[in-house]
Amino acid sequence: MTTGLSASGALLAIAAAKAAAKDPNTYVLKPKANQKIFDQLIVQEELLHLKNVGHLDDQVQPLAVFVVGQTASGKTRLAADLLDVMQGRQPAHLVSDVYKAYHPKYKTVIKEHPNIASAATSIDARKWLNLAIRWLIQRHIDVLLEAACRHPDDVTSLISEFRAAGYRVLVAIMAVPECLSLLGTMVRFYDRLPEAKSAKVALRVTPGEVHHETCVSLTITLLQEGLLAVANFIDNSAAVKNVVVLRRNNLVAYQNFRGLDGLWVRPAVAFASLDLEGVRPLPATEHESFVADCLYVEEQRAKKLQRKKQKEKEQKKGKEKVTNTTIEDVEASLAGLMSMGGRLNASFPHLKQFDIKEWMFGDWDLNNVGSGLPKQNVETVLPRNSILQESARVEH
């Protein structure tokens, strides 16, 4: 009897351990362990080389630039262009996903429980990002931050924190329909682009549910979701100096900045612009590219499945399968987009290309963008290039 009870207890313990391994909360580190990893690894590897490049003594206003958008919307490519313009100021480049790789269990959970990998490590990663930002703020170091807005309150809090610390805050919002970014998660995986992986971790397709949490969904009805929540915050707070809403090819859908009086020079409708961009119809060139990418992904998926067929047979029973985006998901998103957006063709005039230097330093001295000194008697003139009609912008 005792032996039977012991065996039963052992089986229950094993079952409990397996269940715990699938619970994201199991992987959250204790505060001391979290702080130790930040102090001994993250500071040394990601931050320490910047310790002497801040603006504590030169009276230059530090700069914080946010690039926000759902997964595979084009943040990384835009960030590279922004870094080129900021390079003389030696900014810190922060990507929140990088910090997940510092979790001691990240590689294990990626391999054994890929569906919960993001949730299991994101709590500690968010803490490390906040610690990194405070480290940079203390030294008045310029920052370029990429954020997917899965946790919009985190992003808006960081914007406010930078502004309270005396930073000049700029935000670029990627306005990309869901079908394009869904497809982008697969294209970048098969093309082995750097955006498809986190530091120290192998390439992988972003799980569909992770993408959806960050996206401007066609069915969003609440302001408190993803990018729209951040855009709404920008419209209604005084924390941001400049904002631009961009398509993936760097065309400006909406742009605004604050004049010398601290007020927006145009009606504050970043939210409305982003919302409209989320349901815009695809023009012919984008649609052709979309179809070509779909065919490419289907071809690559077929090849990959064929190569792995034998390997999959050898996998252990019960191993979890990642819930990835499928072409059917992408096509369904496109169908919804075209049915909702087809009637909006007349609202989308020709858009202008994004001038990064003008946006970032246009009301400062363009001959000395590293000085941080504003122009004298600057006129706040903005190109009339929004997708919205002027009459539609005035909402209050």
Amino acid at 133: I
Axis crossing angle, helix 270-277 with helix 226-236, rounded to the nearest 10: 150
Question: For residues 27 and 105, what is the distance between their CA atoms, to the nearest angstrom?
Answer: 7
Question: What is the C-alpha to C-alpha distance for residues 187 and 304, in angstroms, rounded to an integer?
Answer: 13
Tokens of 14: 């094993």
Query: Is residue 138 very low, low, confident or very high in pLDDT (cuts 50, 70, 90)?
Result: very high
In angstroms, rounded to a whole number, what is the distance separating the alpha carbons of residues 231 and 66?
12
Distance between CA atoms of residues 346 and 123, nearest Å: 44
Judged by average pLDDT, the poorest of 127-141, 179-193, 243-257 is 179-193
User: For position 387, what pLDDT does the model report?
Assistant: 41
Instruction: Please report, rounded to a whole number, the percentage of residues in the chain having pLDDT higher than 70.
Output: 65
Give the tens place of pLDDT for each residue, 272-294: 999 888 777 777 777 677 677 77
Token pair 């993001």 is at which residue? 118
Domains and CATH numbers, the chain: 25-393 (3.40.50.300)
Cβ–Cβ under 8 Å, residues 245 and 175? yes
Higher pLDDT, 204 or 75: 75
The answer, yes or no, to whether residue 52 has pLDDT greater than 70, is yes
Confidence (pLDDT) at 149: 84
In 22-95, which ranges are continuous DSSP H helix?
31-37, 75-86
Q: Residue 385 above 50 pLDDT? A: no
- In this structure, the number of other CB atoms found within 10 A of the CB of residue 70 comes to 31
What is the dihedral angle through the alpha carbons of 242, 248, 252, 254, rounded to the nearest 10 degrees?
-60
Residue 157 neighbours by CB under 8 Å, 6+ apart: none
318-343, pLDDT tens digit by residue? 444 544 556 566 555 555 555 554 44
User: What are the counts of helices (DSSP H) followed by strands (DSSP E) for the chain?
Assistant: 15, 6
Q: Which two tokens stand for residue 108?
A: 């294990």
pLDDT in tens, 295-311: 777 777 777 777 666 56
Please report which helix (H) or strand (E) contains residue 55, including its range. Answer: none
pLDDT band at residue 369 using 50, 70 and 90 as cut-offs? very low
pLDDT given for residue 383 in this prediction: 40
Residue 192 has pLDDT above 80, yes or no: no
pLDDT at 392 (0 to 100) = 33
3-state secondary structure of 152: helix
Q: What is the pTM of this model?
A: 0.75
pLDDT band at 255 (very low <50, low <70, confident <90, very high): very high
Over the chain, what is the mean pLDDT?
76
Asked if residue 340 lies in contact with residue 218, where contact means CB atoms within 8 angstroms, the answer is yes
**Contact call for residues 374 and 363 (beta carbons, < 8 A):** yes
**Cross-strand bridge partners of residue 10:** none
Q: What DSSP line would sit under 279-345, residue for residue?
A: TPPPPHHHHHHHHHHHHHHHHHHHHHHHHHHHHHHTSPTT-----B--HHHHHHHHHHHHHHHGGGG
For residues 138 and 184, the model is more confident at: 138
Q: Could you tell me which residues are beta bridge partners of residue 257?
A: 242
User: CB of 101 within 8 A of CB of 202?
Assistant: no
Percent of all residues in the chain with a pLDDT value above 90, rounded to a whole number: 40
Residue with tokens 């032996």: 3
**Type of residue found at 312:** E
pLDDT value at 148 more than 80? yes
196, pLDDT greater than 90 = no
